[in-house]
A and B are shown apart, each in its own frame.
Chain A
Amino acid sequence: MQNHNHIRKKVRETAIVTDNLTKRFEDIVAVDELSIQVDKGELFGLLGPNGAGKTTTINILCGLLEPTKGSASVGGYDVQKEPQKVKELIGVCTQETAVYPFLTGRENVELFGSLHAMSKQRLKKNADDLLEKLGLTEDAKRRVGKYSGGMRRRINLIMALVNDPEIAFLDEPTVAMDPQSRHAVWDFIVGLKKQGKTIVLTTHYMEEAEELCDRVGIIDHGKLIALGSPEQLRKKFDAGNLEEVFIELTGRRIREGI
């Protein structure tokens, strides 16, 4: 009984587990036997060059794609067997700004809150709170079609988090943002982590990963090629920053034709 409790406690503490996760698209192996574990409350960075398999991995974890081989669980639920349960736990900030241009910012946020079956009161409170934190309160009544690129990205992020998810997947949330907006989003992500949220962040900005992430996994050609905290990786590869580590790893693979 004591052993059982130990296992259950362990399961609760682990937010995301992938085991030999593989995804093939015909001849292309997008994700290649990826095994990672993300702890509850951890901010985990998934790094890699374009086409490395980051978004495919997130799509599998969100239940959008079925793996070819291996397994994955999110919040203790198998993504293939219980995708509905997984979707109740997560919030997904997609790489593209997937917003309805004919709806106002608030209407977009409230639509996705309704899709998560939130009560009106809770939805309004969360929407107000998030819009204020990301500086969109004034513009919330305007149609998103009139927004600037940076504003669209911020509303995109709010739409992902309005349901107050336990686990958030943020796929390049700050891409194409100006430095001010990017730092505002960083502060926001740090705030989420302080609330105990589990966050999986993909990014091209090594500075962002270094600043925010507890641990990072670097993947290339679908394979996990490095895993650890930014500090551990810097030490291991004798690098001054994470960008040097990244170039060393991914560049070497290109040079060696792996």
Chain B
Amino acid sequence: MQSSKPTLDVWDSCCLIGILNGEKDKLPALLAQTRFLETGAAMLGLPIAVLDEIVTLADGTSAEENVRAFLLNPYVLPLHPNLEVSFKSKSLRMRFDSKRMPELYDKAVAAGVPKDQAKKLGVKDSEILATALFYQAERLTTYDPFLLFLGREYIEKETGMVIDLPTSPFLPFPDKKEE
């Protein structure tokens, strides 16, 4: 492990499930993160809400043992909810609801979010977002269109945390930095 503080990259469930499901459009970018994780440049933050969805999916399948072993890796950081996460999650849900923020729906739809997902931030999504914010993650990696929209429109400007697909190079390769 490096002596300096690594980058905290929080993954939404769709990232790990995309790997488990062998989705070819997602694999290259997601697997490219292995290099950062295994060199200690980054930690993989997994909110308990995400872990719950992954473990439930793998439970009773041939994937169970490998998923369990993967989660014990020293670069995997389970991120627990606590009081502050709960309050933050509630505030996010109150805020990102088109009933209270009338312009939200139109903006989200204009940004390409499907209409049925553009009305408000869901319970689990807000818990994951609140967890990433509370633990001061540099990044929340997701493919969810509404979370991506919120990131670009509000969260990144207000907090500095990036919400994006795993394509953008948020870190220089550790060995490149040393060159």
- Tell me if chain B binds chain A: no
Interface residues of A (CB under 8 A from B): none
Q: Which residues on B are within 8 Å of A, measured CB to CB?
A: none
